[in-house]
Structure 1
């Protein structure tokens, strides 16, 4: 419990990034763009998570070896590059139709979760996962409603 109180700002950052990613995705869905609610939410939360882990890692690991200069997040940067490559592999384009964007964002997000757990940031990673799950469920709900049009779907006109 003490960790949660001490790290309130980090949890707020995750929640705020989820809210903002959701709003941006909502706007994109309303414009019938291929990437929508869930895609932007996953990317926003995972980027916030990776940034927080990077910043906190410097503080956590910097003084552990006196006289030795090290960059504990160098490998993390390479993981993120690899996740981008992996995510690009699941994106498929067929004419004007694009599939796999949310899957690519989820791969990136899960990579952020793995990096966070690997660095020992259990609480913030659990928070990020819960926030992503909640907003993903909300995304599913809103995507199925009439006021968000999916590509190539039109409302029935009343006569």
Structure 2
């Protein structure tokens, strides 16, 4: 394997992919920030950026392996699997159990989604990343409004259940 591999992508393409992942991660992270959740703007940006960087790196490693030997076997999908496993671990870390409720599940899901957006940007699939981001914003903001209307009834019911248990 060469000691100084040449990049398959030029620096401008890499910057474009990483920049897109940061911008789209920020769009999703803003919702979590506005709602004062534990994983906010910076966390979502960093997860998207890391995911994109790992994806680009997997392409680069694949290309380097192919250049080193025509018989080389490399599987860039393994890097994507590893990234998603790490991102899922981070997302799970935002979920806590408070009494009978789980908190942070939406933030955990948004971190997982941002990982996918980062992978899409790292792979150069900007349209896919943009559509995923738009749908995430729709779910986080649009359905958030629905939850706020329905939520007070659910919270009153949960409070009655806690009162009945003596808690």
Normalization by structure 1: what TM-score? 0.51
Could you list the structure 1 runs, at least 4 aligned residues long, displaced by more than 2 angstroms after superposition: 65-70, 148-154
Shift of 1:90: 0.8
SS in 1 for 2:149: coil
Shift of 1:128: 0.9
Q: Distance in 2 between matches of 1:122 and 1:150?
A: 40
Indicate the structure with greater helix content: 2
Count of aligned positions: 95
Contact (CA 8 Å) 1:76, 1:115: kept in 2 or not?
yes
2:58 equivalent to 1:89: no
2:134 equivalent to 1:124: no
2:139 equivalent to 1:140: no
Question: CA-atom RMSD, angstroms?
Answer: 3.0
Please name the residue that 1:152 is paired with: 155
2:109 equivalent to 1:105: yes
SS in 1 for 2:156: coil
Contact (CA 8 Å) 1:143, 1:150: kept in 2 or not?
no
Contact (CA 8 Å) 1:83, 1:111: kept in 2 or not?
yes
Contact (CA 8 Å) 1:91, 1:99: kept in 2 or not?
yes
Normalization by structure 2: what TM-score? 0.48
Q: Distance in 2 between matches of 1:67 and 1:149?
A: 62
Please name the residue that 2:11 is paired with: none
SS in 2 for 1:83: helix
RCO (CA 8 Å, sep 6+): is it higher in 1 or 2? Answer: 1
Q: Distance in 1 between matches of 2:128 and 2:122?
A: 12
